[in-house]
Amino acid sequence: MLITDIIESQSNQFSATERKLIAYIHNNPNIIFKTITEVIEESKVGYGSIIRFCKKIGCEGFQDFKIRLATENPNGQQKSDLEENSLLGSYRKLVFKQLNVTMRNIDDQTIIDIADAIIQARKIVLLGFGGSFPMAEEFAYRLLRMGFDNTSLDADNHMQSYRVSLLNEEDVVFVFSFSGTTNEILDTVNVAKKVKAKVISFTNHVKSPLVKLSDLFLITAIRIPALEAELGTRLPFYFLIEVLTNYLYDTSQQVRNSLKTTYDSVSKKQM
């Protein structure tokens, strides 16, 4: 049974708060693009009420509700650039658009401040979970190649928490999270805050709980439906990694020397 049909069939069973949320859903078909934080702010309905409503209509939570809504009503999604021109041309337009939006959300000083934090850090811990882990892995690889062998990355969430709990105010924690709302990540970030480590986040949502916990952050602001986001592009995240690592290379002789050293260590293995 469709989500919209379930809501209609149970219309006389919803509370006043739930009816308020339903009205918001009907008036905002782009809800599939929004985080729960944005919906709370715009609808004036609390977190608990939204989660209870989602469970009442058979969804596991808000993310599941968005995915099912997007799946059931693809025609209600915003028209995509992918419908225009050739396949490659349309993807090029989409990527350029996402990169342009990302560039508008960052500034030179933030890049400089993050680079300084990396250089001054006693230890650097990288966090990523699920689809965000490969981005943390790429950043860890680049930092090691540039000589920052004080960098660590764990795939297991318990190991992440153990490692972060041993940090102090001289250390930096980099967090990669597309939604900025993943509970496992937020729990570990709260551990980082308790030990006074600096938290720097890469996320897609400026109003997410992760941003509120961060000392510095970089925002991508990719606007795609919830279902597409499960396998959606992470190019803007990799773009930010490119910007940051290239700035470090351009401004630090030590980084350039380390890159040469790590290159020499494997150069004889190449044909």
pLDDT at 66: 86
> Which CATH number fits the domain that encloses residue 12?
1.10.10.10
Same domain for 98 and 29: no
pLDDT at 87: 73
As a whole number, mean pLDDT of residues 48-72 equals 86
The answer for residues whose C-beta is within 8 angstroms of residue 78's C-beta and 6 or more apart is: 30, 33, 223, 225
Q: What is the pLDDT of residues 116-135, one digit of tens each?
A: 999 999 999 999 988 899 99
Where does a domain end: 76, 102, 122? 76
Q: Pick the residue with more confidence: 73 or 201?
A: 201
User: What's the structural domain count of the chain?
Assistant: 2
Same domain for 92 and 69: no
As a whole number, mean pLDDT of residues 183-189 equals 96
Mean confidence (pLDDT) of the chain: 87
Same domain for 152 and 45: no
Tell me the pLDDT band of 82, cut-offs 50, 70 and 90. very low
Where does a domain end: 51, 76, 101? 76
Where does a domain end: 26, 47, 76? 76
Same domain for 186 and 56: no
As a whole number, mean pLDDT of residues 45-62 equals 91
pLDDT at 38: 86
Q: Residue 87 and residue 193: Cα distance in Å, rounded?
A: 45
Q: Residue 198 and residue 157: Cα distance in Å, rounded?
A: 19
Which of 38, 31, 45, 39 lies closest to 73 in space, CA to CA? 31
Same domain for 13 and 134: no
Same domain for 253 and 135: yes
